Amino acid sequence: MEINQKKHKVRIGWKRSLIGTLVAALLVGTYSFAELEPKAQAAEYSKIVSVEPYVSDGPNLSYEFKLDDGRSLHLITTRPEEVTVFNSGMKKVRNYVGGKSIYITQSGELYQGSPAVKMLDGVKDFEAVNRVGSFSSFASYFALMEDSTVMAWGRGTEGQLGIGSKMDKTVPTEVVDPTTGDPLVGVQKIYSLSVNSVLLITNNKVYLVGGPGFYQDSRTNSKPIDVTSSFPAFTDASEFEMKALEGFNYMEDLNHSYNSSYMHTSEASKRVFTVKGQSVSLTSFLEYDSKQSSYGVGEAGNTATLKPFPSDLKVENLKKMASAVSKTTSTSKNVSTGYLNLDNGNLEYWGTPITSWKASEASFSSTRTQIATGVSKVWGTRSGTVIFLKPNGYLYGWGTNSDGLFATKDRNVTSPLRLTGPANEIKNIKDFAIQENVSASNVNRMYALKDDNTLLTWENDGTITVQPNKYVGLFNLRDKSTDVTNVYAIDENGQLGLFNYWGSWRPVQNAPVVYPADYVVPETAPDKPIVSIASQDKFDQSVVSINFGTTSDIPTKQYQINNGGWLDYMGDIVITQSGNVTIQARSADSKGNISEIGELTITNNPIVITEGHPTVEKLSKDEFKVRASATGNTKVQLKVDGGDWQEFNVNNNLLLQPGDHTVEVRMLNSRDEVLISKSFNLTAESPSEPVIVNKPIVVQKGLNNQYGLDLEVQFDPTQGDAYYSIGGGDWSKTTGVITISNDVHTVRAKVVAADGVESEIVSFVTTKVDPKVMVEDGQLTVDPGISSPDLEVYYKDGQDGMWTEYAGPVAYAPGTYQIYVEIREVNSGNVVYSGGPFTIVVPGEGTDPNPDPTPNPGGPLETITTEDVDFTVHGGGLNSRFEGADLSTIVIDSTKPYQQINSVSRALIEDYRGNGNGWQYSLDIKDFVSDPLQDNSTNTKDLVVSIPASALSVDVKNSNTLSGPEAQLANVGKKIFTGTSSEILAAAKEFEGMGYYEIPLDFTLSIPDKVNINSSGTGSKFVPGGETGLMAGTYRSVFTFTLTSGI
């Protein structure tokens, strides 16, 4: 329905002082905001200039919201949460349920129905009335033509069309002159007198079509009736005017019938005619209204003679109050009625005295009582309560207050009472509205709108509540009866909505953005820019986008990076800086209003290729070094002589067959996007016979007099000099003997020949040597393993925690103890060894050396036997189980050296044989051998390398007794596997270990930087027995766990 829409335009922007603008420019950069381009863009909205009621289906009421852009919104009270929008080309619109709308365009075309069908051209005005005696939809239509004739169509079987016959009409037909029967001419105005009749006004006559009215009914003869004699004389239609009280051409007072229990409705609308300056009304405004009129009759049907209307009153200044009670008889006067007159700030009241409101026999006083002056708005309720507002921002109450709208317990107030609220919050009020007959208890609810758009609500003397949203305008819209009133409000976003029975605000469907007539949309700054990451380029550089919002008038858009100065924003920004980067954005409109600064901090990790890379350097006759380094996540691919691209580890060297070759090297990101590609022409020569230097052997000799470890590097001095490195440190030359502290160390050794040729590097992990802490004959003994006058032994237990010098065996009472040991230098007191706890068990008296077998706690324990892990069990009734991650197969996907793989595991051992023979639990590990790898010197996959077994160590922790006699069975300490012999992990002496025990095992696999070459294909440059850099792939070992009986 909405076409040719025109919007009201207003500039949006916060006012800022020139000083503020200049200061901002100085603070944020060198750009001058004074040079902003002027633009005339603005936000769009419409204003409501008036709200007018009209009769709708049922009959019910509809409201027309007229907008300043010529459009109108139509709300039918039976559908209070939706509106229909009609465009600005309409001269008059009446909207009914089901799309049965009628409207005239500005050019006089009349359309009806949905979809709209053009019925007539040259239409000046129209009215529609309801079928007599029924609440059906409208059926009779009257169009006043520009040629002063009247056309009628629709339902006419009762004679209500005035066309001279009783019949329905589907096409417009002329209303006839009652005297001649010819088309009636000279009609200048048309009014709806009631829901069943219209008045046609010529320059000196008044005709009634329909009825009843003035005790007459035109339906009898199907022709208009001349009722001119009922009105003062006039000589021009411009001298005749009809207005209705509060604009309602139909309104009901809802009361209980006096003769039955159903609800009775009496029409309550009141009309005033002004004829040649004289005002008259159908019923008197100065007398009690008995409310005997009913639907289809109204006040016109019960009136023969018009009543004088006070000349100093204007009907548009009046509001009516009427109670809703049960009438006892048809003539009873227990329905209270009052009128409010607000004229130029002067507020008056007359009618039923407030002190006798809702009395069984209501009196009526025509004396007008002044309530207050300087009033800007007033509303009276069916309960006899009057609320009014003054420009000072205060609300006042007068009347019964039986509905509690004063928020006080005061009743029958006859002098204005200023409303304050419990916390004096009722102040700075700019508008108010009253919701009548709401919720299940039919209470009234008060809404008070403050200057800051905060909305207060209360009811029944109750607590004042602040609504969660803010609003800019309120509307009181009555339903079809006087005792029901709805409250509509417009929020700060221009959304029209309705407060339901529970006081919740709901948006009205289909409503455009609207504001009250006197509302000024606050100027605001441009939207705060939103900075976000749009994407990443192939160098992993973040691409940043800035959204400057919906504000159109922003000729200036700027950004800066890390406070480096403001730049004009031209589009997405590529961030080249590394690390934490802060991007800021701002905008300004043509009036100098500056937005808030939008900000985003990101972590940028771009790929920066080392200058000149990739490169290929010749190291020897057939060996080349490929260098391709960069920050960020990259990988390198290589292609030889037009072959396939192969992944290449730059830690490895490139070996080529003798001859000329074309080698292409490219670098890619993690998404396989090519960053750079280069081609190299290389020439390889036949290599010289390699000089083989035997690798050294590292042996741990034992403890020295300082309780350190003595290592021996065994090598052939005729081949070169021996070097060693501890913990990945610098290389040091040695003649063969190394002294280090008593701890676990990774020692690397190599032999370097005089010509610089190096042997294979040997890695050796030392074993920390602990003193023997035992119990013999009920006494603690500590054997450090050496005797040195420079050292002394100290111990402490969990009893008193004090260190005591050990001078010989110490007697302990039966029980279990945790022993800690320190070995110190005599002269300095420095601690050269610290260890523990060592668990000892001092047996009590009567201990049976041959106890009964311990029952199996969980059935037979399973033996681990897999392809790569061998496990052997010897002896009946002696079982073990290994639980933990299987490190026999490892996958290395990164060539970063010195990686570590850890596994927290345990062994469970059970001895229920009952023979007390003891047992021994050991583990043997072989070298980790790779699956076949890619050999880039032959472009085949037959290169096999290995990681020595010594890369794996296990830290054996103190054993835990799960059942049976307490015993410390673990061979505590770090064990290094050699690949040639097994390591004892736990052991039980005779008459020990007869039960169920847990041995905690912490495995650590330390990945070396180089691997051994086991085998290669024909023509490969990888020589078996040599070393190469760590290569990614799958490596497999063989783990053999052995549990044997006896020790």
Please say whether the beta carbons of 691 and 757 come within 8 A. Answer: yes
pLDDT at 354 over 90: yes
Q: How confident is the model at residue 1030 (pLDDT cuts 50, 70, 90)?
A: confident
What is the rounded CA–CA span in Å between residue 1044 and residue 28? 81
pLDDT at 1003 over 80: yes
Tracing tokens 């001298």 back to the chain, one arrives at 239
Please say whether the beta carbons of 649 and 1031 come within 8 A. Answer: yes
SS3 (DSSP) at 508: coil
* Domain spans in the chain, listed from the N-terminal domain onward: 7-46+526-606, 319-513, 615-684, 697-765, 772-842, 869-1045
Tally of CB atoms within 10 A around 212: 21
Provide the whole-model pTM: 0.52
Count the alpha carbons within 13 Å of 797 in the hemisphere toward its beta carbon. Answer: 17
SS3 (DSSP) at 246: helix
Q: What is the pLDDT of residue 818?
A: 87
Phi-psi region at 71: left, alpha or beta (left = phi > 0; alpha = psi -120 to 50): beta
What is the rounded CA–CA span in Å between residue 190 and residue 811? 126
How does DSSP assign 894-917, residue by residue? ---TT-EEEEEEEEEEEE---S--
Q: How confident is the model at residue 31 (pLDDT cuts 50, 70, 90)?
A: very low
What H or E segment, with its residue span, contains residue 301?
Answer: helix 298-301
Its sign, for the CA torsion 627, 630, 635, 636, is negative
Its sign, for the CA torsion 447, 449, 453, 456, is negative
Residues 6+ apart with CB under 8 A from 23: none
Mean pLDDT of the chain: 84
Q: What is the pLDDT of residue 509?
A: 96
Residues 6+ apart with CB under 8 A from 801: none
Per CATH, domain 319-513 is 1.10.540.10:
no
Contacts 24+ apart (CB under 8 A), 177-185: 177/224, 178/207, 178/221, 178/223, 178/224, 178/225, 178/226, 181/223, 183/149, 184/149, 184/150, 184/224, 185/147, 185/148, 185/149
Per CATH, domain 697-765 is 2.40.50:
no
- pLDDT tens column, 503-525: 899 999 999 999 999 888 676 78
Q: What is the pLDDT of residue 563?
A: 93
As given in the structure block, the two tokens for residue 727 are 């913990």
- What is the SS3 assignment for 24-44? HHHHHCCCCHHHCCCCCCCEE
What is the rounded CA–CA span in Å between residue 1030 and residue 893? 10
- pLDDT tens column, 950-980: 888 888 999 988 778 888 999 998 888 888 8
Residue 558 vs residues 16, 17, 22: alpha-carbon distances, Å: 19, 21, 16
The DSSP 8-state label assigned to residue 853 in this structure reads P
The DSSP 8-state label assigned to residue 932 in this structure reads P
Same fold, 697-765 and 772-842: yes
- pLDDT tens column, 154-195: 999 999 999 999 999 999 999 999 999 999 999 999 999 888
Highest mean pLDDT among 127-141, 204-218, 368-382, 821-835 belongs to 368-382
Residues 6+ apart with CB under 8 A from 476: 379, 433, 434, 485, 486, 487
Tracing tokens 């009526």 back to the chain, one arrives at 364
What is the rounded CA–CA span in Å between residue 616 and residue 656? 12
Closest of 103, 111, 169, 175 to residue 140, by C-alpha: 169
Pick the CATH number of 772-842 from 3.40.50, 1.25.10, 3.20.20, 2.60.40: 2.60.40
pLDDT at 540 over 80: yes
Fold of 615-684: Immunoglobulin-like (2.60.40)
Query: Residues 816-827: what's their mean pLDDT?
Result: 90
Assigned CATH for 7-46+526-606: 2.60.40.10
- pLDDT tens column, 55-82: 876 667 899 999 999 999 999 888 899 9
Considering only residues 762 and 677, tell me which one the structure prediction assigns the higher pLDDT: 677
Closest of 689, 691, 737, 693 to residue 714, by C-alpha: 737
Among 213-222, 330-339, 386-395, the range scoring the smallest mean pLDDT is: 330-339
Count the alpha carbons within 13 Å of 35 in the hemisphere toward its beta carbon. Answer: 5
